Amino acid sequence: MKAFIVNKYGKNEKLKLIEEALPSVKENDILVEVYAAGLNQLDSKLKSGEFKLILPYKTPFILGHDLAGIVIKTGAKVTRFKAGDEIFARVSDMRIGTLAEYIAVDENDAALKPNTISMEEAASIPLVSLTVWQAFVERANITKGQKVFIQAGSGGVGTIAIQLAKYFGAFVATTASEKNFEMLKRLGADIIIDYKKDNFETILKDYDVVLNSQDIKTLEKSLTILKPGGSIISISGPPTPEFAKSIGASSIISFILWLTSLKIRNKAKKLNINYSFLFMKANGKQLELIGNLLELKEIKPIVDKTFPFELTNDAFDYLESGHAKGKVVVKVK
């Protein structure tokens, strides 16, 4: 099969197209023919080596976390799927590799693809929607009437976060450039702030939840708009000691994460704000619930651009340009 690999880490390194043997199928695995693979900022950060401390992949490795495709074979103990099923998934860490013609996926990471969306749309959904679900449902427990601030509303995470927050009955504020205002209004955003002209921290106050996807400076500003007892969930760091414990990090890495997150944790504590770092986990059951919302059209995929498989490096260039509205998807088949 054809696959794109990270040959060596580096910000300017390109993926290499190689011929690879078909993956072996464990007893709880499904072998999937990949039709489409969604690209994420996580893929870009892995490629550059930014996440080597917490995700130590040994090069060369096949890149890619999101996929939609068709099951062609099942392991001996698989009960949820059969050959011919159309599925979508965010595969588990250390088992990535969706930028390939085939991949073996643990059945617990996958869900049936909604019939109402295309393969390309389905591939755009898993990582971002699971990130938002785990932030809003597991961490923040968002309830109707709460005020939620979502940074970078027009990005892959932002477009889904706005829709899910509205589904849960929240009042939503977000940031974007003016050209994306109309799209974000259609998705349900109540307040949209032009980050090029205005400072959100001078406009917003008494918010219950912030979903942070930006730098440390923006994270610190976000603390000031929350009411006491509010929550800030960061998907861009800095990682916390709790996260280090959850991944079984070494004492050295645990200390590094403790140190790098100390300032923001102390600031949050003084303001009586709950700060947590979220690194989402693959979860087929949660993806099933999200699939139901897609079927009911409560949320919809936002795909900016689709690239053919052979132009995967061009797809990454576009993703890394920062101009994508919603998701960038690679059409594998």
Could you tell me the mean pLDDT of each successive run of 10 residues in the chain, 333 residues long?
A: 97 96 98 98 96 93 98 98 98 97 98 98 98 98 98 97 98 97 98 97 98 96 98 96 94 95 98 97 98 97 98 97 94 97
121, 245: one domain: no
Amino acid 47: pLDDT: 97
How big is the CA angle at 4 (ends 105 and 55), to the nearest 5 degrees?
60
For β-strands 102-106 and 29-39, DSSP reports them as antiparallel
Number of domains observed in the structure of the chain: 2
| Whether 120 contacts 331, CB under 8 Å | yes
**282 within some domain:** no
**306 within some domain:** yes
**290 within some domain:** no
Instruction: Judge if the upstream peptide bond of residue 60 is cis by omega within 30 degrees of 0.
Output: yes
187, 170: one domain: yes
**286 within some domain:** no
Q: Other C-beta atoms within 10 Å of 93: how many?
A: 18
* Secondary structure string (H, E, C) spanning 145-213: CCEEEECCCCCHHHHHHHHHHHHCCCEEEEEECHHHHHHHHHHCCCEEEECCCCCHHHHCCCEEEEEEC
Report how far Cα 27 is from the mean position of its chain's Cα atoms.
28
Amino acid 18: pLDDT: 98
156, 75: one domain: no
For 320, the domain range is 2-125+301-331
142, 263: one domain: yes
Amino acid 53: pLDDT: 87
Q: What are phi and psi of 184, to 5 degrees?
A: -70, -30
In whole angstroms, give the CA distance from residue 220 to residue 232: 10
**78 within some domain:** yes
DSSP codes, 94-151? TS---SBSEEEEEGGGEEEPPTTS-HHHHHTSHHHHHHHHIIIIIIS---TT-EEEES
**Residues in a beta bridge with 88:** 68, 111
94, 140: one domain: no
- Domain termination residue (choose one: 241, 262, 277): 277
The domain that holds 60 is classified in CATH as: 3.90.180.10
In whole angstroms, give the CA distance from residue 142 to residue 165: 8
DSSP H/E element including 17: strand 16-19
Instruction: Supply 316's token pair.
Output: 């990454």
The domain that holds 248 is classified in CATH as: 3.40.50.720
**pTM more than 0.85:** yes
Residues in the chain: 333
Long-range contacts of 315-322 (CB under 8 A, 24+ apart): 315/39, 316/15, 316/39, 316/43, 316/44, 316/47, 319/39, 319/41, 319/43, 319/44, 320/44
| Whether 1 contacts 19, CB under 8 Å | yes
**289 within some domain:** no
In whole angstroms, give the CA distance from residue 118 to residue 269: 45
**285 within some domain:** no
In whole angstroms, give the CA distance from residue 189 to residue 44: 28
272, 198: one domain: yes
103, 170: one domain: no
10, 105: one domain: yes
241, 308: one domain: no
Helices (H) and strands (E) in the chain, counts: 11, 16
**287 within some domain:** no
143, 217: one domain: yes
264, 148: one domain: yes
| Whether 61 contacts 91, CB under 8 Å | no
Q: What is the maximum span of the chain, computed from C-alpha positions, in angstroms? A: 58
20, 161: one domain: no
